[in-house]
Structure 1
Amino acid sequence: MTMLPLSEVKARLSEIAEEVATTHERVQITKNGREYVVLLAAEDLESIEATLELLADPDAQDRLRQADADIASGEVLDERAVRGLVSRRHHQQSR
């Protein structure tokens, strides 16, 4: 993570924001030599928030554990089976 003083960020905000949005590298901004705020891509923030939401949901955690157990035991669907399920679900929703 890059660390820049607030004064530099003010002078180069458009350039730095474009770089953050493109590279997804966060920029830690300091004020008076101390940590102040972090600039990160909106897409990355959305991803972090979605992850936190999943981690806070006990049912989602149970489903993830079950999925891991299914994978470990070989209970998985191949591509053809998944496509069939998606197609049937799409057909049911379009009625």
Structure 2
Amino acid sequence: METIPITEAKARIAELADRVAREHDHFTITRNRRADVMLISVAEYESMRETLDLLCDNEALADLRQSREDFAAGDTFSMDEVRAELEGHRGRAA
């Protein structure tokens, strides 16, 4: 992550935007030598928002904890079992 002054960011905005979108680089932009804003891709921003939403959802967090516990205990399904279950759902939906 680079830190650059806003005057430099203005002069290089097209290049910075390309790097952010293509390479997922981050830039901290300063004003008066103080960190003021971040330049990140929309995809990364949306991903962070989804993560924050998930972390605020107690039911989803409980499901994730249960999944980890099930996995650690070996309570999992084989690929064949998953396929059979999906085929069963497709048959009932048709």
Distance 2:36 2:70 in 1: 44
Aligned alpha-carbon RMSD (Å)? 1.6
Taking every aligned residue pair, what percent have the same amino acid on both sides?
35
5+ residue gaps, structure 2: none
| Structure-2-length-normalised TM-score | 0.88
Distance 2:83 2:41 in 1: 33
| Structure-1-length-normalised TM-score | 0.87
State the 4+ residue runs in structure 1 displaced beyond 2 angstroms. 78-93
Kindly state the Cα deviation for residue 76 of structure 1 after the two structures are TM-superposed.
1.1
Distance 1:20 1:13 in 2: 10
1:61 aligned to 2:61? yes
| Residue in structure 1 matched with residue 5 of structure 2 by the alignment | 5
| Residue in structure 2 matched with residue 26 of structure 1 by the alignment | 26
| Residue in structure 2 matched with residue 17 of structure 1 by the alignment | 17
Kindly state the Cα deviation for residue 82 of structure 1 after the two structures are TM-superposed.
2.6
Q: How does 1:42-57 map to 2 (within 5 A)?
A: 42-57=42-57
Kindly state the Cα deviation for residue 92 of structure 1 after the two structures are TM-superposed.
4.8
1:2-39 CA-partner distances (Å, limit 9, x unpaired) = 11110111111011011011111210000111111000
Distance 2:91 2:10 in 1: 52
Counterpart AA for 2:7: S
Q: Secondary structure at the match of 2:44?
A: helix
Counterpart AA for 1:54: L
Distance 2:79 2:67 in 1: 16
Q: Secondary structure at the match of 2:4?
A: strand
